[in-house]
Amino acid sequence: MKTFFDARQHDHAPAMELHNGAYVPYAEHRGRMENVLATLSQVEAPRDHGIEPIRRVHKDNYLAFLQSAHERWVAAGRNGDAHGYAWPVVGRRPLNLNRIDADLGQFSFDASSPISAGTWTSAYWGAQSALAATEAVLGGERAAFALCRPPGHHCGADYLGGYCFLNNVAISTEAAIAAGKRRIAILDVDYHHGNGTQDIFYDRGDVLFVSVHADPATDYPFFWGHADERGEGAGEGTTLNLPLPRGSGLEAYRAALDTGLAAIRDFGADMLCVSFGADTFAGDPISQFALQTADYTPIARSIADLDLPTVIVMEGGYAVDALGANVAAFLAGFD
C-alpha cells in the first residue's frame, strides 16, 4: 500500500498540554510517527498541492490565524507555545478584536492543543499527505495511507482542538468530490468522536459520516457524538454515531462496526475515507477500550470488504511503543 508522510510533519513540537487539571508533557509528539515509520517499508513524500484544497474545508480567517498565531504570541511578549485561556460561549456576538489571546479562544474549543513555532508547517504537510493518498486512490490504487501528523478529525472549518489543526479526512473528501466523486463515506474508527468532521458535513447529503467511538457521556469531546445526532437539512440521516461504553472489546466493537458498514453499503458510496485511530488499543494511556493488536487486522479486513477505493488517514494513538505494530496490523487487513 502506498504511504505518504513528509518529515516536516515533525516540526509541530509543543512542550506541554493541559490535561486533567495539570500541565503534562504533550502526548501527540513526534515519537508517535517515528514508531510507525519504523514498521513501514516504503514511504513517499507528498507533492505540494497548494492551499486551495485546504480552503475547500477551512475558512480563510482561520487559516490566516493558524499561520500567524505563534508569531503573534511571541510578538505580544510571550514565551513558548501559544495557549488559549478564554473562550466565547454560544450566543456571544462575534468580535474581531485583533488580539492573539482572544483569537486563540475564538478559533479553538479546548486547552489541549497549543500552537508551537512549527505547527502550521506540520499541519500543512499533514494535509498534503492526505491529498497525496487521495490522488493515488483517484489514480487507481485500491487503498492508500496518509500518515498524518498532527491528526485532524477534531477540528472544524474554523476551530482547532483535540491536537487537531487541519481536518485531513475532510480535505481528502472534498478533493475527491472536486475530482468527480459523487458520494463519499467517511468512517471514523478513532476512540474519540470526530466532532470536527461531523460539523463540516452535518448538512451535506453527499457525504455520509459514520463514527464508532467512546460514549461522549463519559469521554471527550463530550458535546458531540451522541446517537441522536443524525444530520440536518440536506444532511438529515447522513450522520451515524455508534457510541460504545468504556471497556468495549472486539465483540462489541465488531457489532457496532457492522452496523456502520451496512449503512455505508446502503448509502451507495463510490469512495471511502477512513479516519483511523489506534487509541482504541487496550494499552492506550488516554483511552478505555480493550482492543488488542491482533484485532486490528480483522477489523480492517471487514472495512476492505466494502470493496471501495479507500483513503486511510491517521488520527490518534498514544501507546507509542505499540503504535507501529497496531498501524501495521490495521494496514495488513487491506492486503
CA 38 to chain centre: 22
Which of 139, 76, 128 has its CA nearest to residue 102? 76
- Using an 8 Å Cβ cutoff, are 153 and 56 in contact? no
Alpha-helical runs (H) found in 245-319: 250-267, 296-304
- Using an 8 Å Cβ cutoff, are 41 and 141 in contact? no
Catalytic center residues: 154
Backbone angles phi, psi at 116, to 5 degrees: -100, 180
- Please give the Cα distance from 87 to 277 (Å, whole number): 28
β-sheet bridge partners, residue 24: 17
Q: Which residue's entry shows cell 507501529?
A: 324
Q: What grid cell was written down for 221?
A: 469531546
- Please give the Cα distance from 172 to 273 (Å, whole number): 7
β-sheet bridge partners, residue 213: 243
pLDDT tens for the chain, residues 1 to 335? 999 999 999 999 999 999 888 999 999 999 999 999 999 989 999 999 999 999 999 999 999 999 999 999 999 999 999 999 999 988 888 888 889 999 999 999 999 999 999 999 999 999 999 999 999 999 999 999 999 999 999 999 999 999 999 999 999 999 999 999 999 999 999 999 999 999 999 999 999 999 999 999 999 999 999 999 999 999 999 999 999 999 999 999 999 999 999 999 999 999 999 999 999 999 999 999 999 999 999 999 999 999 999 999 999 999 999 999 999 999 999 99
- Please give the Cα distance from 147 to 329 (Å, whole number): 15
- Please give the Cα distance from 270 to 316 (Å, whole number): 26
How many other CB atoms sit within 10 Å of the CB of residue 100? Answer: 21
**DSSP H or E segment with residue 18:** strand 16-19
Backbone angles phi, psi at 52, to 5 degrees: -60, -40
Whole-model pTM: value is: 0.98
Angle at 83 between CA 149 and CA 321, to 5 degrees: 35
Kindly give, in sequence order, each residue whose CB lies less than 8 Å from that of residue 227, ignoring residues fewer than 6 positions away: 241, 242, 243
- Please give the Cα distance from 16 to 101 (Å, whole number): 18
CA 284 to chain centre: 17
- Please give the Cα distance from 112 to 163 (Å, whole number): 7
Predicted pLDDT at 239:
98
Predicted pLDDT at 93:
87
The torsion defined by the Cα of 164, 153, 314 and 312, in degrees rounded to 10, comes to -150
- Please give the Cα distance from 335 to 326 (Å, whole number): 15
Which of 127, 123, 126, 147 has its CA nearest to residue 37? 147
Predicted pLDDT at 89:
87
